Amino acid sequence: MSRQRHLAILGAAALSYGAAAAAAAGLEPSPPLIDNERVKVWKVTWEKGRAIPPEAVGHDTLRVYLSGGPVRVVGLDGKSEVVPRAKGEVLFVPRGEGPVEEGVGGPSPAQSILVELKDHPVAPLENKSGYPNAFPRPNGKKVLENDRVIVWSYAWTPGLPTPMHFHDKDVVVLYLEDTALISTTPDGKQVLREYKVGDTRFNLRDRIHSELLSGPSGSAVITELK
Q: Give the integer Cα–Cα distance in Å for 222 and 3.
A: 30
Higher pLDDT, 81 or 14: 81
For residue 105, pLDDT over 50 is answered with yes
DSSP tag of 21? H
- Report pLDDT digits (tens) over 140-171: 999 999 999 999 999 999 999 999 999 999 99
Give the neighbor-by-neighbor strand order of the sheet with 190-195: 165-167, 207-213, 179-184, 190-195
For residue 204, pLDDT over 70 is answered with yes
Residue 29: the pLDDT is: 56
Q: Give the integer Cα–Cα distance in Å for 73 and 78.
A: 10
Structural domains for the chain: 3-117 (2.60.120.10), 140-225 (2.60.120.10)
**pTM: predicted TM-score of the whole model, two decimal places:** 0.84
Residue 106: the pLDDT is: 74
- Report pLDDT digits (tens) over 164-199: 999 999 999 999 999 999 999 999 999 999 999 999
For residue 13, pLDDT over 60 is answered with no
Higher pLDDT, 19 or 29: 29
What residues pair up with 201 in beta bridges, in sequence order? 173
In percent, the amount of the chain with pLDDT more than 70 equals 84
- Report pLDDT digits (tens) over 118-146: 999 999 999 999 999 999 999 999 999 99
Residue 79's contacts (CB-CB under 8 Å, 6 or more residues apart) are none
